[in-house]
Amino acid sequence: MNFRDVTYIGSAVLRLIFEAARELQRRNGTFRVMECSPDIRRVFALTGMDHLVDGSSTPPVTHEIRDGTLRIFIQGRMDAVRVGEVRDSVRKLVAAHRGPIRFDITAVPYAASAFVHLCIDASKTAKASGNNFGLERVAPEVAQVFRLAGLQSLLLSSI
């Protein structure tokens, strides 16, 4: 969608964009914001929807293996849309690794239930191969989500 001439986006429009992106994702499509001003790009970044903007500067998932431990670095709001975008790549990394698995979520300010489910899946996969899983460098707000879900055992460290 071209946002070249857009100078203002209200909360109702942002909600519609979010819903459209989620519906397209369910149908294996993608929603992208193209050609927007820096101010509009900032609005998307502030609302955690920067992953919808073409040319976003950082990938939401990177990884490293050090001393046999797979560490997956996850960035941004982990809402239903974002989790849907990273789910397959994260699952492939986790399934292919034989050793401890950690999600470093320092840069995750929000975790929806879809992210909790992704973490449960990763934990089950790790345990099935005799390994362990945990979340590292967890923000207090995100840690609270896992505590409320009864998953405090996954929390290894906080920020």
> Residue 59 pLDDT > 80, yes or no?
no
Question: Which residue matches tokens 């840069």?
Answer: 107
Q: What is the pLDDT of residues 21-37, one digit of tens each?
A: 888 878 878 888 888 88
Q: What is the pLDDT of residues 106-141, one digit of tens each?
A: 989 899 999 999 999 999 999 999 999 999 999 999
Q: What is the pLDDT of residue 130?
A: 94
Residue 142 CB burial class (10 angstroms; 0-12, 13-18, ≥19): buried
* DSSP assignment letter at 68: T
pTM above 0.85, yes or no: no
102, two tokens: 């950690």
Q: Which domains does the chain have, with CATH numbers?
A: 11-52 (no CATH), 61-154 (3.30.750.24)
